[in-house]
Amino acid sequence: MSDELPAGVERRQFDGEERLATRGEPVYGEPTNEGWRAWNPNRSKLGAMLELGMETGLAGGDDEMVLYLGAASGTTVSHVADVAGPTYAVEFAPRPARDLLEAADSRPRLFPLLADARKPERYAHVVECDVDAIVQDVATRGQARVALENARFLADDGRLVLAVKARSEDVTREPGDVFADVRDELSEGYEVLEYRRLDDYHADHLGIVARPR
């Protein structure tokens, strides 16, 4: 475990409580304090991973390029775009994508893409460069396969930061068995560096950090 946070992510006081925070316009009704916005780990798997001390490999900084899969309405990806460089946000559902567009209005480095993360060829013409990190939070069957299909965008020394939702894979199986299968499938193209259950914040979820083989 590590207490090291990406550049631009700090622990700040909100109503007497120390919480993770980034600088930027609020997106989901989160508390703010002098330009800082609290990062709610109960609404963000990446936020939970950082709270739990996982070494995500995210550095922060204007030079860090990120591909975010499953951006939804922008809760987590807005925090990422607050601290990183160009951040490509892939979301398939039109309704949350509209909210994502609003989150991007005040973030010139956040680029929403209405696309299916299972079909990376649909946005390969936009995400042309090797990204430093892929952050994935896609609630669909075949989450490992999504990560493998998108590995084409990841730099050789990049990181995959993956939140696996067991119930999206198979509601009838034990989450631990689902997680083991996901890690095994990921090994086709990634080396898993760390994994941890996120149940303190998100039931039946696993956080995984991996690098390309």
Residues placed in the known binding site: 75-76, 91-92, 116-117, 137-140
Return the exposure string of 74-107: e unless at least 16 CB atoms fall within 10 Å of the residue's CB, then b. bbbbbbbbbbbebbbbbbbeeebbebbbebbeeb
- Angle (CA) 18-76-24 rounded to 5° is 65
Burial (CB count within 10 angstroms: exposed 0-12, middle 13-18, buried 19+), residue 31: middle
* Residues 6+ positions from 8 with CB-CB distance below 8 Å: 22, 23, 60, 61, 82, 83, 84
Helices 94-105 and 75-83 pack at an angle, to 10 degrees, of 30
Binding site for S-adenosyl-L-methionine, residues?
75-76, 91-92, 116-117, 137-140
3-state class (DSSP) for residue 84: coil
Residue 25 CA to chain centroid, in angstroms?
19
- CA–CA separation, 128 and 103 (whole Å): 23
